[in-house]
Chain A
Amino acid sequence: MLEVRDLMKSFGGLKAVDGASLDVDQGAIVGLIGPNGAGKTTLFATIAGFHKPDGGRVRFEGKDTTGLPPHLLCERGMVRTFQITQPFARLSVIENIMVGAYLRTADRSEASARATDVARRVGLGDRLEAPAGDLTVAGRKRLELARALATAPKLLLLDEVMAGLNPTEVTAIVEIVRAIRADGVTILLIEHVMQAVMSLAEHVYVLNDGRIIADGAPRAIASEPKVIEAYLGRGAAERMSAHA
């Protein structure tokens, strides 16, 4: 469904994404992990059209979408959420979600019905009239998810929807993400909460210094020496196996 090939993005002299490639199959949940500063969010933003890539290609559903602006990608069914939540703070929860729903309908009551339905699915059903600015961190993460879902996406790019949440809240979001996939939405997620990645993703890519250094099933990836070194430093893998 999504093919990323040798994607490059630099800021000044810094190569934030340096030839990253990955594939997401229809109906999958794919994880993207990596240490802080690895370039995950930049890779996401470049795939989703927020940055113009300096090189490489992105194909979505078999069509070249490299460098298309975000609103056109969203129309085609690819939508991202933001790691730092970006609510329309002075609008109510339902108004926030309706902005997403309006992508597929111009009719107010239809948008409202769709938004209400999405709000229920992410557990915001009882907070519809609250100003988005009043939501807790967990509430805002749900709102990010809801707005994106309301655009009726085929591919959802989730950027750390679980960061900053307590374990109970993480479990709740994991369930919601599973339910979204069950409805036929393909998911690519950046996540730091390993518990979530391990239990959700079937396939995981590891990004370090703007390159994909490993990919595979989550369990296998966690014991990959290259991955351990990326997180813990050179030689860490050897020391760990020596201790074991």
Chain B
Amino acid sequence: MSRRAMLWCAAGLLVAILYPLLFGGPSLIARSNYAINVAFLILFAAFLGQSWNIAGGYAGQTSFGHVVFFGTGAYVSTILHVSHGWNPWLAWPVAIASGGLVGAIIGVLSFRAGLRGSYFALITLAFAEVFRIVANSIPQTRGGLGILIKADQRPENFQFRDPMWFYYLALVLCVIGLAIAWWLTRSRFGARLAAIRENEDAAMALGIDVFREKVRVLALSGAMCAAGGTVYAQKYLYLDPSIAFGVEKSVEMLLVSMIGGAGTIFGPLIGSGVLHLVGEITRDLGNVVPGIKNAQPLALIVYGLILVVIVAYLPDGLTGLLRRRR
């Protein structure tokens, strides 16, 4: 990393650390949970997007069903906590490991069967749907009723009275995600993933165990995504099958990476920022522009337009645009 890039990263991190102090906590300007929550969502979606990006962007294993890992993490920690009395902090690592395990299992099954490209994408979508249907049907998840986590806002209980702390948690996750992506750009594992993404046959010829590396990356990606699942459950204290395994989340993860630039370190973060800011602005349009009563569809239309433009003109996402400018 160049000195200048390092300086930029440090500055960005500093701003991110100071941000809540401007709006929340010991308020300097004005206390705004809204500003904190939007920032939380941006960082949180960036982290989930990063987990997708590790497999989809760096290793070229495009998944349409990444939510399967998110939901696994969310349900494992929530069930351990609510039904078995575990402390959520202790349940968290188990949830992360479960996400990794599900990633490895899906990897073994689909890569053993030789599924590549769009076939792999479809099988992940199918896995997520199966998980959703199972979660809807078994008693452990209380089916479609969902699980309520009892509110008990103490830090040792993984619940925080001040949303600032969830913001910081998301920030830590996001930085870990960025660090993993950065490591991929300079490690042997990362080089092998790039080789696999570019050309599996050539990768194989050069001594890479393509199957093993793909299973590994899906396990890593699944573990990361599951970590996010637990955080989500602890923040919103409620979980049901369509939240945990709904296709929208898979799409969001894929979208933030593609818009920002799949296979780049900062792609998911940039994509998440753009997507959420657009979402917030279009939501407010409902109040500003007369005649628009429900701005929700408007946000979707704008998302769609952005995606079309990105896919058509910027295959490397916004990061690619910045790079081309230079």
**Using a CB–CB distance below 8 Å, which chain A residues touch chain B?**
48, 50, 69-71, 74-75, 79-82, 86-91, 95, 98-100, 102-103, 106, 108, 111, 147-148, 150-151
Contacts and interface: CB of A to CB of B under 8 A. Distances in A.
A71 B194 contact: no
Contacts, number: 76
Task: Name the interface size band of chain B.
Answer: 10 to 19
B188 A95 contact: no
A89 B198 contact: yes
Contacts of A86: 199, 201-202, 205
A48 B207 CA distance: 11
Given A108-B186, A108-B188, A147-B202, A74 B195 contact: no
B204 A71 contact: yes
Nearest to B263: A90
A88 B202 contact: yes
B314 interface: no
Contact of A99 (B187, B195, B209): B195
Nearest to A81: B205
Contacts of B202: 82, 86-88, 147
A99 B204 contact: no
Interface of B: 186-188, 191-192, 194-195, 198-199, 201-210
A71 B191 contact: no
B204 A98 contact: no
B192 A102 contact: yes
A48 B199 CA distance: 17
Contacts of B207: 70-71, 74-75, 79, 100, 103, 151
A132 to B, nearest CB: 9
Contacts of A70: 204-205, 207
Contacts of B192: 99, 102
A91 B206 CA distance: 15
B249 to A, nearest CB: 28
Nearest to B201: A86
A79 B198 contact: no
Q: Pick the most buried of A48, A70, A75: most chain B CB atoms within 10 A of its CB.
A: A70
Given A95-B191, A102-B188, A102-B192, A147 B198 contact: no
B236 to A, nearest CB: 39
Nearest to B209: A71
A90 B204 CA distance: 18
26 contacts: A50-B201, A71-B204, A71-B209, A71-B210, A74-B206, A81-B205, A82-B205, A86-B201, A87-B198, A88-B199, A89-B198, A91-B194, A91-B195, A91-B198, A95-B194, A98-B191, A99-B191, A99-B192, A99-B194, A100-B207, A103-B206, A108-B186, A108-B188, A147-B202, A147-B206, A148-B205
A74 B201 CA distance: 13
Contacts of B201: 50, 82, 86
A99 B205 contact: no
B212 to A, nearest CB: 9
A147 B191 CA distance: 13
A106 to B, nearest CB: 5
A100 B194 contact: no
A86 B200 CA distance: 9
Contacts of A103: 206-208
Given A103-B206, A151-B207, A87 B188 contact: no
A86 B195 CA distance: 11
For the complex of A and B, 4 pairs with smallest distance between CB atoms: A74-B207, A88-B198, A86-B202, A103-B207
Given A87-B202, A95-B191, 7 more contacts: A70-B204, A71-B207, A71-B209, A74-B207, A82-B205, A102-B191, A151-B207
Nearest to B206: A100
A150 B195 CA distance: 14
Contact of A80 (B198, B203, B205): B205
A99 B206 contact: yes
B311 to A, nearest CB: 17
Nearest to B213: A71
B39 to A, nearest CB: 33
Contacts of B194: 88, 91, 95, 99
Contacts of B191: 95, 98-99, 102, 111
A159 B92 CA distance: 52
A67 to B, nearest CB: 15
Contacts of A74: 205-207
Contacts of B199: 86-89
Contacts of A90: 198
Question: Most chain-B CB neighbours within 10 Å: which of A48, A50, A75, A86?
Answer: A86
A70 B203 CA distance: 10
A136 B135 CA distance: 54
Contacts of B198: 87-91
Contacts of B187: 108
B188 A106 contact: yes
Contacts of B186: 108
Nearest to A48: B205
